[in-house]
Chain A
Amino acid sequence: GDSVTQMEGPVTLSEEAFLTINCTYTATGYPSLFWYVQYPGEGLQLLLKATKADDKGSNKGFEATYRKETTSFHLEKGSVQVSDSAVYFCALSGLSGNTPLVFGKGTRLSVIA
Chain B
Amino acid sequence: DGGITQSPKYLFRKEGQNVTLSCEQNLNHDAMYWYRQDPGQGLRLIYYSQIVNDFQKGDIAEGYSVSREKKESFPLTVTSAQKNPTAFYLCASRGMTGPNQPQHFGDGTRLSIL
Q: List residues of chain A with CB under 8 Å of any chain B CB.
A: 31-32, 34, 36, 41-46, 49, 51, 89, 91, 93-98, 100-101, 103-106, 108
- Can you list the 3 inter-chain pairs with the closest CB atoms, starting with the nearest? A97-B99, A43-B105, A105-B42
- For A10, give the chain B residue with the smallest CB separation: B40
How many residues on the B side are at the interface (Cβ–Cβ under 8 A)? Answer: 29
Contacts of A44 in B (CB 8 A): 43, 90, 92, 103, 105
In the assembled complex, 26 residue pairs joining A and B whose CB atoms fall closer than 8 Å, in A order, are A32-B99, A32-B100, A34-B102, A42-B107, A42-B108, A43-B4, A43-B6, A43-B107, A44-B92, A49-B100, A49-B102, A51-B99, A89-B42, A93-B99, A93-B101, A97-B97, A97-B98, A98-B50, A100-B31, A100-B33, A100-B48, A100-B58, A101-B94, A101-B102, A101-B103, A105-B41
- Distance in Å from the Cβ of A66 to the closest Cβ of chain B? 11
A72 to B111, CA, bound (A): 35
- Distance in Å from the Cβ of A13 to the closest Cβ of chain B? 19
Contacts of B100 in A (CB 8 A): 32, 49, 51, 93, 97
Contacts of B108 in A (CB 8 A): 41-43
Contacts of B27 in A (CB 8 A): none
- B42–A97 touching, CB < 8 Å: no
- Distance in Å from the Cβ of A6 to the closest Cβ of chain B? 9
Additional A-B contact list (16), CB under 8 Å, known A43-B6, A96-B99, A97-B101: A36-B105, A42-B107, A43-B4, A44-B105, A49-B100, A89-B43, A93-B100, A95-B99, A97-B97, A98-B50, A98-B96, A100-B31, A100-B33, A100-B45, A101-B102, A103-B42
